[in-house]
Amino acid sequence: MAKLLSALIAGLLFGLGLLLSGMSNPAKVLGFLDVSGRWDPSLALVMAGAIAVAFFAFRRAEGQTHSVLGEPMQLPDKSRLTLRLVLGSVLFGIGWGLAGICPGPGLVLAGMALPDGLWFVAAMLLGMLLFRPLSRCLS
């Protein structure tokens, strides 16, 4: 129960951060991505602020085998550079650039019950479902 409550709190803090930062406003995200137009650099500060805090937490986490709540530390591989990684990231970036919405802000917009947010999340989940058969073809 404590583990679930803890994950809920993390999700909530994350969502509040997305709202406060401007990340959940697609027009602001597109303004940040539009480097050659009228560039809004605000969102660079979101990344800087987040890393400034999380850097210390991850340094601590990497030296431990278990979390405070006794769960095994599950940290993914850091060094495997693959074509899949680049191809997937490029596809994700095209989607992000088309709408100005990435997964976290998509959920926050859906939580506001905005039709566009709900459509985006539905399409994203469909993409994730489609991935399984696609992944079989690729390998």
Partner 1 sequence: MQIAWDSFTPFASLAGGLLIGLAASWLVLMNGRIAGISGMLAGLVDRAGDWPLRLAFVLGLLAAPLVWRGLVGPLPVPQLSTPLPLLLLAGVLVGIGTRLAAGCTSGHGVCGLSRLSPRSLLATLSFMGSAGLTVFVMRHLLGWS
CA distance 55 to 62: 11
Among 131, 136, 137, 139, which residue sits at the site for partner 1 (rule: CB under 8 A)? 131
Is residue 133 near partner 1 by the rule CB under 8 A?
A: no
H or E element in which residue 121 lies: helix 115-138
56-95 footprint of partner 1 as x/- string (CB under 8 A): xxx-xxx---xxxx-xxxxxxxxxxx--xxxxxxxxxxxx
Q: List binders of partner 1 among 88-107 (CB under 8 A).
A: 88-104, 106-107
Burial 81-101 (b: 16+ CB within 10 A, else e): eeeeeeeeeeeeeeebeebbb
Minimum CB–partner distance for residue 21 and partner 1 (Å): 2
Tokens of 90: 């490029």
Minimum CB–partner distance for residue 64 and partner 1 (Å): 8
Is residue 36 near partner 1 by the rule CB under 8 A?
A: yes
Minimum CB–partner distance for residue 131 and partner 1 (Å): 4
Minimum CB–partner distance for residue 136 and partner 1 (Å): 13
Q: SS in 3 state form for 70-83?
A: CCECCCCCCCCCCH
Site size toward partner 1 (CB under 8 A) is: 117
Q: ∠ CA 129-9-77 to the nearest 5 degrees? A: 55
Is residue 137 near partner 1 by the rule CB under 8 A?
A: no
φ, ψ at 118 (rounded to 5°) = -65, -40
